Amino acid sequence: MTAAAISVRNLVKRFGEKTVVDHVSMEVTEGEIVGFLGPNGSGKTTTIRIVCGLLTPDEGEGSVLGYDLRREALKIKREVGYMTQKFSFYEDLTIAENLEFVARLYRLNPLRRHVDETLADLGLTSRRNQLAGTLSGGWKQRLALAACIMHKPKLLLLDEPTAGVDPKARREFWDEIHRLARGGLTVLVSTHYMDEAERCHRISYISYGRMLASGTVAEVVRNAGLTTFVVEGEHLDEVSKLLAGKPGVEQIAPFGTTLHVVGSDAVALKASLDAVAQRPGVSASPGETSLEDVFIQFMSGSKDNMG
């Protein structure tokens, strides 16, 4: 049986009177890519910082890479690569100089070999002498990833790593993450992009400090208990207004020339749609509930703990 890289139970973290992480439990298996989803301010970053040993929980327990979360935080830090939301390297140094600095922090020897191998591994060799401040978002992201994996960590923690990066760079980044996972690296990645969440082996959804769901994308969508219909026809803006507030109608979203209508009470939802579908030229047919539908449903049902 594959061992757990992250096994934490009932984590609590407070800042003043605000409980930012509220009894969060999580299991991540070695070699697994787990997506960490949730709205801004939901506690994702704080949870990640607890997991990598940067913050001590007020309550809760667990282990990361076999080390006790409370007593062995320093050992955890040495085995983890943590990529923050913000690009945090010296922009007036070259790519190679930035990596040399990181190599010295980790006391990697021989330094030149570690830098050269990391540059080659991430496709940065031809740009080694380019100033970090002149890099595009995608290349900055690649440099940040290079610095995170340089010391050969067993666990990679990525906090919204592709924010502001173009689709091609995002896809290349995810191809790289899957390559690293195949080599045995465990990855916990927070993201707001639904297509990225769907590339993870499993996902966990946290909302305002509380873990609401965990599992594969299919499991999370199925367990949300939502029903989706696709409405087609003319004057859908009028149809949308007619449906708003009707029994069973919890979400209405335009998708191209159609409306996606979502609700948790399938019977009430269908009855409301049947009434609207009697309009000339309007039809409603069963659709597939998306992860985004579930995400929105979770958000609408959660109370902001910072208010």
Tokens of 173: 């980044």
Give yes or no on whether 4-221 and 227-288 have one common fold: no
Distance CA 240, CA 130 (A): 52
How far apart CA 25 and CA 191 sit, in angstroms, is 19
Q: CB atoms < 10 A from the CB of 8, how many?
A: 21
- In order along its 307 residues, the chain shows pLDDT tens digits of 578 999 999 999 999 999 999 999 999 999 999 999 998 888 999 999 999 999 999 999 999 999 999 999 999 999 999 998 877 889 999 999 999 999 999 999 999 999 999 999 999 999 999 999 999 888 998 999 999 999 999 999 999 998 878 888 889 999 999 999 999 999 999 998 888 999 999 999 999 899 999 999 999 999 999 999 999 998 999 999 999 999 999 999 999 999 999 999 999 999 999 998 888 899 999 999 999 999 999 888 766 544 4
The pLDDT score that the predictor gives to residue 306 is 47
Q: Closest by alpha carbon to 226, among 170, 161, 300, 282?
A: 300
Task: Please tell me the predicted confidence (pLDDT) of residue 307.
Answer: 43
Provide the pLDDT for residue 36.
Answer: 95
Look at residue 303 in the predicted model and tell me its pLDDT: 61
The two beta strands, 251-255 and 227-232, are: unpaired
Closest CA to 209 of 4, 40, 8: 40
Give the chain's length: 307
pLDDT at residue number 293: 94
Nearest to 89 by CA among 100, 78, 76, 74: 100
CA distance 292 to 294: 5
Bridge-based pairing state of the strands 202-207 and 33-37 = parallel
Q: Which fold has domain 4-221?
A: Rossmann fold (3.40.50)
Instruction: Return d(Cα 52, Cα 157) in angstroms, integer.
Output: 8
- C-alpha to C-alpha distance for 208 and 20, rounded to whole angstroms: 7
Give, in words, the CATH class of 227-288. Answer: alpha beta
Q: What is the pTM of this model?
A: 0.89
Q: Is the peptide bond before 254 cis (omega within 30 degrees of 0)?
A: no
Could you tell me the two tokens for 59? 């309550």
Tell me the domain boundaries of the chain. Answer: 4-221, 227-288
